[in-house]
C-alpha cells in the first residue's frame, strides 16, 4: 500500500475468531469484495484490520466479515486493552478447566513405563473428555463451521477434524459390544490435543501482548482529564476528549500535558523521552511549543491548546505506528500464497495417510490415529504470526526511541540500503542560519539589508527569517514589498517601490543574467569557509543590476560526523545532496568525513529527484531531508527519511520520520530494520521447516497425536518468543 493510500478515508476494525494465515487471507478477501474498498490490511497478531476506500458507512464491512465467518466491530482504542485483557482471562479460565479435566486422563500414561496400569474406566474417561471436547473445544467447532461455510479451511478445521475423529473412535469402542471393552480408547489424546492447543493460544496471547507493549505505552501517555482555566481564573477538570484548540490548560509539576500547545505562562523543563527518545529534559519558556504526553518537570504552566487530543502529535504517532503494523512487507506475499492452499493440502495429505496406512496394514484404527497426528501438527498458526509479530515489535521499539515507521515496505526497504543521501540545511546542520555578512555592491549596507528584508518579509524559508531577524536587530524598517513569490530551488522575488528584485542562488542569477564579478571573490572566500551565499539583484530593467551579496552561517549538528561514521561502518555509502554552493558543500563534507566524490552541490529540487533515481540504479538508496524542496527526492527514494523538525510535507512524503533532529538515528533505523527483517526470515524459516519436517514424521506414524499437539502449540509460541528478542534492541545513542 502506498503512502497515498494513507490519505484516503479509512476504517479500523477489530476482528474476532482469526486463528491462522488462512483466516487473514479470507478476511482480506471479504473486505475487498465490498464496493468502494480499494485496499485492506489484516493483522493476525493484533486481530485488527484497516480498510481504505470510498466507504462512509462501515456496516457493509462488518457484514462482509461476518459472512466470512468472523465477528467484526469498529476499533475503540480506549477499550482495546480491556477487550484484550478479558479475552486473555477467558482463555486462562478455559485452560484451567481443561487442564483439571485432562490431567486424570494423561497422568496414568506417565506411569505405564513403570508397569503401573491406572487408566480410569472407560465411562469415567468419557465423562472427563466430553466437556473438553464440546465445551472447551466449542470455539474450534464454531471456527471450523464458519470456515467451511465460507468454502475454505483454517486451523480450526484441522483441530476439529482430528480431535473429533479420535473422540468418536473412542466412543465407538466404548459402546461396541464386539470390542468387549478391550479396544483402545483415545479420549486422553483428543482431550490433551485441545488442552495443549489452548495452552499454546494462551501463551501466544501473552507473547503478543508483550510484542505490542510499545504501542500501549504510547496510548497510555495521554492523561484522561485536562485542567481548564476559565476566563474568570477558576479551574475545572474536563475529559481530555473535550479539549479544543484555544483552550487554556493548567499543567502542574509532574503532570503530563493533555494535548499539543504553546506555553502562555511559566518556565519549565519537559521530559519528551517517550515521544522522541531524547533522554534529557528540554527547557521550555513562554512562546515555546509543547507536545501532548510529555511531562512537566517543574513549575506551573498555562498552555494554550493548539489542537484537540485526537489531532495532536501523540495521536498521530499512534495512528502511524498502528498503520505500519497493519501493512504487509513484500516478504509476506510468499506466506499469502502458501496459506491459500495450505489447509486443503493438509486435509488431502491426512486423507492419503489414512487410506495408505489402512490399505497397507489393514489396521484402520492405527491409520486413523496417524491421520489425526497429521491434521494436528500441521497448524498454520506459526506462518500467520511470523511477519506480523516482527513488524509489531520492530515498529513499536522504533517508536519508543523516536523513529516513526509509516509502513512495512519502508521497514523492509531500509534493511537493503546501500546509499543514504543527506540534505545539508536542517539535516546535517541545525537549520537555523544567521546572516553572517552582507556586502553591498552599490549604496550603504543598511539600505541593502533593509531591501533584502523587504523582499524576504513574507518568506517562511530559514534564510528569509535570518535576513528579517538581522534587520530587526539593527533597528531597520524595511520598505513595503508587493507580489512576493517564492521560486522553489532558486529564491524569492518581489516588487519594492515599483522595482522588481530577486534574491537567490548562483544558478538563478546566471539564468537572470546578473553580473556578479564585483563581489565574486568575496563570495568564493565565504563559501570556502563553509558559509552559504545568496545574491540580491534588481531584475526589472533591461540590464539586471547586482545589489548585494548575503553570507549565511549555519551550525553543523554535533552528531553529524558520528552519523556519517556509523553509516560507513555499517557498509552504507553516505552522500550529500544540496542546492548550496559547491564550496560551502565541500566544507561541510570535509567536516563530517564525506569524500569529495560523494558531494552533489547546486542541485535544484527536481534535480535532487533525478539524482536519487540515478543513485538508485547502483543499489537501494534513501534520502534524508527536512524541507519542502526535499519532498520530490524523498518520494523518489526507495526509503524517504524525514527529520521531525522539518516541514509537514517532508514528513507526509517520507516512509520514516525521525522525531528528534539527530542524524545518528538514520543508522539506528537501518540497524533496527535489518534486525526486524532478520526476525521475519527466521520466523518464516522455522514455520516452514516445522511443517516440512513434522508432517512427514506424522504421516510415517512416528508422532503420537499428543506429541503432535504439543509441537504445534510450541511452534507458534517459539515464533512469537523469537520476535520478542527485538525488545532487547537499543539505539546507538544509548549504547
**Residues noted as catalytic:** 423
Cβ pair 270, 294 in contact under 8 A: yes
Beta-strand pair 248-251/301-305: antiparallel
- Minimal CA–CA distance to 25: which of 153, 145, 140? 153
The C-alpha atoms of residue 313 and residue 479 are separated, in whole angstroms, by 39
The C-alpha atoms of residue 708 and residue 256 are separated, in whole angstroms, by 51
Residue 108 corresponds to which cell in the numbers above? 496414568
- Burial class for 247, CB neighbours closer than 10 Å (0-12, 13-18, 19+): buried
Residue 319 corresponds to which cell in the numbers above? 495512528
Q: How far is CA 732 from CA 35, 615, 729, in A?
A: 47, 27, 10
The C-alpha atoms of residue 409 and residue 517 are separated, in whole angstroms, by 50
Residue 485 corresponds to which cell in the numbers above? 513569490
The C-alpha atoms of residue 243 and residue 314 are separated, in whole angstroms, by 15
**Helical H runs in 8-76?**
21-32, 59-67
DSSP code of residue 330? T
Please tell me whether residue 494 adopts helix, strand or coil conformation: strand
- Minimal CA–CA distance to 567: which of 678, 660, 666, 641? 666
CB count within 10 Å of CB 57 equals 9
DSSP-derived secondary structure for 135-198: IITHHHHHHHHHHHHTT---HHHHHHHHHHHHHHHHHHHHH-GGGTT-S---HHHHHHHHHHHH
DSSP code of residue 556? B
Torsion on CA atoms 62, 68, 71, 75, rounded to nearest 10: -50
Please tell me whether residue 37 adopts helix, strand or coil conformation: strand
Please tell me whether residue 621 adopts helix, strand or coil conformation: strand
Cβ pair 340, 28 in contact under 8 A: no
Residue 735 corresponds to which cell in the numbers above? 549504547
Beta-strand pair 268-271/282-284: antiparallel
The C-alpha atoms of residue 455 and residue 452 are separated, in whole angstroms, by 5
The C-alpha atoms of residue 514 and residue 520 are separated, in whole angstroms, by 12
The C-alpha atoms of residue 227 and residue 475 are separated, in whole angstroms, by 42
- Minimal CA–CA distance to 633: which of 600, 659, 597? 600
The C-alpha atoms of residue 405 and residue 539 are separated, in whole angstroms, by 46
The C-alpha atoms of residue 530 and residue 507 are separated, in whole angstroms, by 18
Please tell me whether residue 542 adopts helix, strand or coil conformation: coil
The C-alpha atoms of residue 698 and residue 727 are separated, in whole angstroms, by 35
**CB within 8 A of 414, min separation 6: which ones?**
622, 639, 656, 669, 670, 673, 674
Cβ pair 307, 386 in contact under 8 A: no
Residue 176 corresponds to which cell in the numbers above? 461396541
The C-alpha atoms of residue 249 and residue 237 are separated, in whole angstroms, by 10
Amino acid at each position: 500500500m502506498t503512502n497515498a493510500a494513507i490519505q484516503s478515508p479509512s476504517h479500523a476494525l477489530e476482528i474476532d475468531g482469526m486463528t491462522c494465515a488462512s483466516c487473514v487471507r479470507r478476511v482480506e478477501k471479504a473486505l475487498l469484495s465490498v464496493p468502494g474498498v480499494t485496499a485492506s490490511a489484516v493483522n493476525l497478531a493484533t486481530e485488527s484490520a484497516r480498510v481504505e476506500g470510498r466507504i462512509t458507512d462501515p456496516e457493509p464491512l462488518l457484514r462482509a466479515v461476518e459472512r466470512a465467518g468472523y465477528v467484526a466491530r469498529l476499533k475503540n482504542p480506549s477499550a482495546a486493552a480491556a477487550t484484550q485483557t478479558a479475552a486473555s482471562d477467558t482463555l486462562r479460565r478455559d485452560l484451567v478447566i481443561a487442564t483439571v479435566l485432562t490431567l486424570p486422563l494423561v497422568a496414568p500414561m506417565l506411569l505405564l513405563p513403570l508397569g503401573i496400569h491406572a487408566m480410569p474406566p472407560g465411562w469415567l474417561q468419557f465423562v472427563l473428555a466430553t466437556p473438553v471436547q464440546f465445551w472447551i473445544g466449542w470455539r474450534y467447532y464454531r471456527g471450523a463451521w464458519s470456515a467451511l461455510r465460507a468454502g475454505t479451511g483454517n486451523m480450526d478445521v484441522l483441530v476439529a477434524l482430528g480431535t473429533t475423529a479420535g473422540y468418536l473412535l473412542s466412543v465407538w469402542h466404548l459402546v461396541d459390544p464386539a470390542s468387549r471393552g478391550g479396544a483402545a480408547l483415545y479420549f486422553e489424546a483428543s482431550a490433551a490435543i485441545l488442552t495443549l492447543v489452548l495452552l499454546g493460544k494462551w501463551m501466544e496471547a501473552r507473547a503478543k501482548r508483550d510484542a505490542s507493549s510499545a504501542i500501549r505505552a504510547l496510548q497510555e501517555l495521554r492523561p484522561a482529564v485536562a485542567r481548564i482555566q476559565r476566563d474568570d481564573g477558576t479551574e475545572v477538570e474536563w475529559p481530555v476528549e473535550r479539549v479544543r484548540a484555544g483552550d487554556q490548560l493548567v499543567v502542574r509539576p509532574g503532570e503530563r500535558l493533555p494535548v499539543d500547545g504553546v506555553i502562555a505562562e511559566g518556565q519549565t523543563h519537559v521530559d519528551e523521552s517517550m515521544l522522541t527518545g531524547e533522554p534529557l529534559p528540554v527547557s521550555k519558556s513562554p512562546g515555546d511549543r509543547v507536545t501532548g504526553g510529555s511531562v512537566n518537570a517543574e513549575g506551573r504552566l498555562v498552555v494554550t491548546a493548539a489542537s484537540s487530543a485526537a489531532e495532536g502529535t501523540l495521536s498521530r504517532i499512534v495512528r502511524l505506528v498502528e498503520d505500519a503494523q497493519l501493512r504487509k512487507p513484500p516478504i509476506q506475499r510468499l506466506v499469502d500464497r502458501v496459506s491459500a492452499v495450505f489447509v486443503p493440502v493438509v486435509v488431502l495429505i491426512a486423507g492419503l495417510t489414512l487410506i495408505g496406512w489402512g490399505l497397507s496394514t489393514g489396521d484402520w484404527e492405527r491409520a486413523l490415529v496417524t491421520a489425526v497426528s497429521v491434521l494436528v501438527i500441521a497448524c498454520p498458526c506459526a506462518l500467520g504470526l511470523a511477519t506480523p509479530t516482527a513488524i509489531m515489535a520492530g515498529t513499536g521499539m522504533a517508536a519508543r526511541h523516536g523513529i516513526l515507521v509509516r509502513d512495512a515496505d519502508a521497514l523492509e526497504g531500509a534493511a537493503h540500503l546501500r546509499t543514504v543521501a543527506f540534505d545539508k540545511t536542517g539535516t546535517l546542520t541545525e537549520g537555523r542560519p544567521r546572516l553572517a555578512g552582507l556586502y553591498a555592491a552599490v549604496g550603504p549596507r543598511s539600505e541593502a539589508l533593509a531591501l533584502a528584508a523587504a523582499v524576504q518579509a513574507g518568506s517562511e524559508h530559514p534564510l528569509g527569517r535570518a535576513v528579517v531577524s538581522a534587520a530587526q536587530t539593527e533597528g531597520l524598517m524595511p520598505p513595503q514589498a508587493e507580489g512576493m513569490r517564492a521560486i522553489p530551488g532558486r529564491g524569492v522575488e518581489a516588487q519594492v517601490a515599483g522595482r522588481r528584485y530577486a534574491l537567490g542562488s548562483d544558478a538563478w542569477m546566471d539564468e537572470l543574467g546578473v553580473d556578479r564579478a564585483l563581489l565574486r571573490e568575496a563570495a568564493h572566500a565565504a563559501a570556502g569557509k563553509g558559509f552559504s551565499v545568496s545574491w540580491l539583484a534588481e531584475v526589472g530593467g533591461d540590464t539586471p543590476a547586482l545589489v548585494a551579496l548575503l553570507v549565511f552561517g549555519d551550525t553543523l549538528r554535533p552528531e553529524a560526523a558520528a552519523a556519517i561514521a556509523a553509516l560507513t561502518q555499517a557498509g552504507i555509502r553516505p552522500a550529500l545532496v544540496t542546492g548550496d554552493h559547491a564550496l560551502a558543500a565541500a566544507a561541510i563534507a570535509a567536516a563530517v568525513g564525506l569524500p569529495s566524490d560523494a558531494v552533489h552541490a547546486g542541485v535544484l529540487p527536481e534535480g535532487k529527484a533525478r539524482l536519487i533515481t540515478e543513485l538508485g540504479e547502483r543499489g537501494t538508496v534513501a534520502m534524508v531531508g527536512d524541507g519542502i524542496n526535499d519532498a520530490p527526492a524523498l518520494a523518489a527514494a526507495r526509503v524517504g527519511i524525514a527529520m521531525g523538525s522539518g516541514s509537514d510535507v517532508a514528513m507526509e512524503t517520507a516512509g520514516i520520520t525521525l522525531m528528534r533532529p539527530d542524524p545518528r538515528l538514520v543508522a539506528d533505523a537501518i540497524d533496527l530494520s535489518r534486525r526486524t527483517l532478520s526476525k521475519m526470515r527466521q520466523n518464516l524459516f522455522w514455520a516452514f521447516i516445522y511443517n516440512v519436517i513434522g508432517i512427514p514424521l506424522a504421516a510415517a506414524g512416528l508422532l503420537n497425536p499428543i506429541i503432535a499437539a504439543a509441537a504445534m502449540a510450541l511452534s507458534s509460541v517459539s515464533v512469537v518468543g523469537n520476535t520478542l528478542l527485538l525488545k532487547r534492541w537499543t539505539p546507538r545513542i544509548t549504547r
